[in-house]
Amino acid sequence: MRKGRQVAAKTRVSAKGGNRPIAARLGWTLLAGFALMTAAVAQSLSGPAINPPAAAAPPDDGQWAMPAKNYASTRYSELAEITEDNVKNLQVAFTFSTGVNKGQEAAPLVVGNTMYIVTPFPNILYALDLTKPGAPMKWKFEPNPEPAAQGVACCDVVNRGAAFFDGRIYFNTLDGHAIAVDAATGKPVWNTHIGNINIGETITMAPLVVKGKVLVGNSGGEMGVRGWIKALDAGDGHVVWTAYNTGPDAEVLIGPDFKPHYDMDKGKDLGVTSWPPDAWKIGGGNVWGWISYDPDLNLIFHGTGNPGPWNPDLRPGDNKWTAGIFARDPDTGAAKWFYQWTPHDLHDYDGINEQVLLDMTWQGKPRKVLVRPERNGYVYLLDRTTGEVLSAVPFGPVNSSKGVDLKTGRLIVNPDKKTGTGKVVRDICPTASGLKDWQPSAFSPKTGLLYIPHNNMCMDEEGVEVNYIAGTPYVGMNVRMIPGPGGNRGAFTAWDVAAAKPAWSLKENFPVWSGAVATAGNVVFYGTMEGWFKAVSARTGELLWQFKTSSGIIGQPITYRGPDGHQYVAVLSGVGGWAGAIVSGDLDPRDATAALGFVNVMKDLKDVTTPGGTLYVFRLP
Amino acid sequence: MNRGLPCVLSAMLVLAACQREERDTRPQSALGSGDQPAAVTALEPGGQRPASSNNKAGVFEANAFHLSEGKRLFNWFNCSGCHANGGGGMGPALMDQKWLYGSSIESIHATIRDGRPNGMPSFRDKIPDDQIWELAAFVRALSGNAPKSAAPSRDDDMMPHPSENRLPDAATLGKSP
Determine contact: A509 vs chain B, CB below 8 A: no
User: Could you give the percent of chain A with pLDDT greater than 90?
Assistant: 92
Q: Residue B151 pLDDT more than 90?
A: no
Q: Which residues of A touch B84 (CB under 8 A)?
A: 587, 591, 593-596, 599
Distance (Å, whole) CA A401 – CA A74:
28
**Higher-pLDDT residue of B28, A104:** A104
Q: Which residues of B touch A201 (CB under 8 A)?
A: none
> Is A337 within 8 Å of A321 (Cβ atoms)?
no
Determine contact: A154 vs chain B, CB below 8 A: yes
Asked if A590 lies within 8 A of B170 by C-beta distance, the reply is yes
- B23 belongs to a structural domain: no
User: Could you give the percent of chain A with pLDDT greater than 70?
Assistant: 92
CATH number at residue B128: 1.10.760.10
Asked if B88 lies within 8 A of A593 by C-beta distance, the reply is no
> Is A209 within 8 Å of A236 (Cβ atoms)?
no
**Higher-pLDDT residue of B142, B39:** B142
Q: Residue A278 pLDDT more than 50?
A: yes
- Reported in sequence order, the residue ranges of A152-303 that DSSP labels E, i.e. its strands, are 163-165, 168-172, 177-182, 188-193, 208-210, 213-217, 228-233, 239-244, 291-294, 299-303
Q: Residue A8 pLDDT more than 50?
A: no
* B100: Cβ contacts below 8 Å, ≥ 6 apart: B92, B116, B118
Largest CA distance in chain A: 71
Given A462, A464, A590, which is nearest B164 (Cβ)? Answer: A590
Distance (Å, whole) CA A15 – CA A538:
15
Q: Residue A193 pLDDT more than 60?
A: yes
Given A152, A462, A599, which is nearest B157 (Cβ)? Answer: A462
Q: What is the pLDDT of residue A344?
A: 98
> Is A586 within 8 Å of A609 (Cβ atoms)?
no
Catalytic residue among A84, A105, A201, A222: A222
Q: What is the pLDDT of residue B27?
A: 67
Asked if A472 lies within 8 A of B75 by C-beta distance, the reply is no
pLDDT 10s digits, A307-331? 999 999 999 999 999 999 999 999 9
Q: What is the pLDDT of residue B165?
A: 56
* Residue A456 annotated as catalytic: no
CATH number of A2-619: 2.140.10.10
Q: What value does the mean pLDDT take over residues A516-545? A: 98
Q: Residue A5 pLDDT more than 70?
A: no
Determine contact: B162 vs chain A, CB below 8 A: no
> Best mutation site among B82, B85, B90, B156 for testing chain A: the one with the most A CBs within 10 Å?
B90
- Give me the residues of A, 134-153, that contact B with CB < 8 A: 147-153
Q: What is the pLDDT of residue B39?
A: 76
Distance (Å, whole) CA B60 – CA B82:
24
Nearest-neighbour CA in chain B from A288: distance (Å): 17
Q: Which residue of B has its CA nearest to A477?
A: B81
Helix (H, G, I), strand (E, B) or coil at A237: coil
Distance (Å, whole) CA A505 – CA B52:
59
Give me Rg for the CA atoms of chain A. 22
Asked if A466 lies within 8 A of B157 by C-beta distance, the reply is no
Cβ burial, residue B122 (10 Å; 0-12/13-18/19+): middle
> Is A46 within 8 Å of A494 (Cβ atoms)?
no
Domain that holds residue B126: 67-153
Q: What value does the mean pLDDT take over residues A92-114? A: 98
> Is B52 within 8 Å of B119 (Cβ atoms)?
no
Q: What is the pLDDT of residue A108?
A: 98
Amino acid at B41: T
Q: What value does the mean pLDDT take over residues B130-149? A: 92
Asked if A588 lies within 8 A of B75 by C-beta distance, the reply is no
Determine contact: A592 vs chain B, CB below 8 A: yes
**Distances from the Cα of B103 to the Cα of A250, B100, B139, B143, angstroms:** 51, 8, 9, 10
Q: What is the pLDDT of residue A6?
A: 40
Sign of CA dihedral A409, A70, A569, A171: negative
Q: Which residues of B touch A586 (CB under 8 A)?
A: 88, 92-93, 96, 98
Q: What value does the mean pLDDT take over residues A221-234? A: 98
Asked if A152 lies within 8 A of B158 by C-beta distance, the reply is no
Distance (Å, whole) CA A153 – CA A288:
12
Asked if A596 lies within 8 A of B158 by C-beta distance, the reply is no
Nearest-neighbour CA in chain A from B15: distance (Å): 39
Q: What is the pLDDT of residue B170?
A: 46
Catalytic residue among A81, A265, A348, A374: A348
Distance (Å, whole) CA A272 – CA A261:
20
> Is A347 within 8 Å of A297 (Cβ atoms)?
no
DSSP annotation of B120: P
Q: What is the pLDDT of residue B2?
A: 60
Asked if A594 lies within 8 A of B82 by C-beta distance, the reply is no
* A48: Cβ contacts below 8 Å, ≥ 6 apart: A1, A4, A360, A361
- B81 belongs to a structural domain: yes
Q: Which residues of B touch A590 (CB under 8 A)?
A: 86-87, 95, 164, 170
Q: What value does the mean pLDDT take over residues B108-124? A: 94
Q: Residue A12 pLDDT more than 70?
A: no
**Distances from the Cα of A169 to the Cα of A174, A184, A368, angstroms:** 17, 9, 31
Determine contact: A196 vs chain B, CB below 8 A: no
Distance (Å, whole) CA A224 – CA B89:
17
pLDDT 10s digits, A243-266? 999 999 999 999 999 999 999 999
Q: What value does the mean pLDDT take over residues B156-172? A: 58
Nearest-neighbour CA in chain B from A487: distance (Å): 19
Nearest-neighbour CA in chain A from B158: distance (Å): 7
Q: Residue A36 pLDDT more than 70?
A: no
Q: What is the pLDDT of residue B78?
A: 95
Q: What is the pLDDT of residue B156?
A: 60
Q: What is the pLDDT of residue A19?
A: 42
pLDDT 10s digits, A49-89? 999 999 999 999 999 999 999 999 999 999 999 999 999 99
> Best mutation site among B78, B85, B164, B165 for testing chain A: the one with the most A CBs within 10 Å?
B78
Nearest-neighbour CA in chain B from A492: distance (Å): 27
- B131 belongs to a structural domain: yes
Distance (Å, whole) CA B61 – CA B142:
12
Q: Which residues of B touch A471 (CB under 8 A)?
A: 121
Tell me the count of A-B CB pairs closer than 8 A. 116
Q: What value does the mean pLDDT take over residues A89-115? A: 98
> Best mutation site among A314, A458, A587, A602 for testing chain B: the one with the most B CBs within 10 Å?
A587
> Is A69 within 8 Å of A76 (Cβ atoms)?
yes
Given B76, B85, B157, which is nearest A591 (Cβ)? Answer: B85
Helix (H, G, I), strand (E, B) or coil at A25: helix
| Band (B40; pLDDT cuts 50, 70, 90) | confident
- B159 belongs to a structural domain: no
Q: What value does the mean pLDDT take over residues A523-546? A: 98
pLDDT 10s digits, A327-368? 999 999 999 999 999 999 999 999 999 999 999 999 999 999
- B143 belongs to a structural domain: yes
Hey, how many other C-beta atoms are within 10 angstroms of the C-beta on A86? Answer: 18
DSSP B65-101: HHHHHHHHHHHHTTHHHHHTTTT-SSS--SSSS--SS
Catalytic residue among A306, A376, A455, A456: A306
- Give me the residues of A, 547-586, that contact B with CB < 8 A: 581, 585-586
- B36 belongs to a structural domain: no
Q: Which residues of B touch A460 (CB under 8 A)?
A: 158
Distance (Å, whole) CA A229 – CA A172:
13
Q: What is the pLDDT of residue B9?
A: 72
- Prediction pTM value: 0.90
Amino acid at A560: Y
Asked if A151 lies within 8 A of B91 by C-beta distance, the reply is yes
Determine contact: A608 vs chain B, CB below 8 A: no
Distance (Å, whole) CA A441 – CA A517:
7
Q: What is the pLDDT of residue B18?
A: 62
Exposure class string for A266-285: b at 16+ Cβ within 10 A, else e: eeebbbbebbeeebbebbbb
- Give me the residues of A, 382-441, that contact B with CB < 8 A: 424
Nearest-neighbour CA in chain A from B60: distance (Å): 25
> Is B164 within 8 Å of B173 (Cβ atoms)?
no
| Band (B172; pLDDT cuts 50, 70, 90) | very low
Distance (Å, whole) CA A553 – CA A574:
6
**Distances from the Cα of A380 to the Cα of A69, A260, A598, A605, B13, angstroms:** 21, 17, 26, 32, 76
Q: Residue A43 pLDDT more than 60?
A: no
- B108 belongs to a structural domain: yes
Given B90, B98, B155, which is nearest A151 (Cβ)? Answer: B90
Domain count, chain B: 1
pLDDT 10s digits, A447-496? 999 999 999 999 999 999 999 999 999 999 999 999 999 999 999 999 99
Q: Which residues of A touch B126 (CB under 8 A)?
A: 469
Q: Which residues of B touch A478 (CB under 8 A)?
A: 85, 155, 158
Determine contact: A478 vs chain B, CB below 8 A: yes
Distance (Å, whole) CA A448 – CA A526:
18
Hey, how many other C-beta atoms are within 10 angstroms of the C-beta on A146? Answer: 17
Asked if B81 lies within 8 A of A589 by C-beta distance, the reply is no
Asked if A595 lies within 8 A of B92 by C-beta distance, the reply is no
> Is A487 within 8 Å of A497 (Cβ atoms)?
no
Q: Which of A66, A162, A181, A176 is nearest to A118 (CA)?
A: A162
Nearest-neighbour CA in chain A from B164: distance (Å): 7
In sequence order, what are the beta bridge partners of A198?
Answer: none
Asked if B88 lies within 8 A of A424 by C-beta distance, the reply is no
Q: Which of A459, A330, A441 is nearest to A380 (CA)?
A: A441
Phi, psi for residue A339 in degrees, rounded to 5: -140, 135
Q: What is the pLDDT of residue B80?
A: 95
* Residue A306 annotated as catalytic: yes
ipTM value for the complex: 0.89
Hey, how many other C-beta atoms are within 10 angstroms of the C-beta on B150? Answer: 18
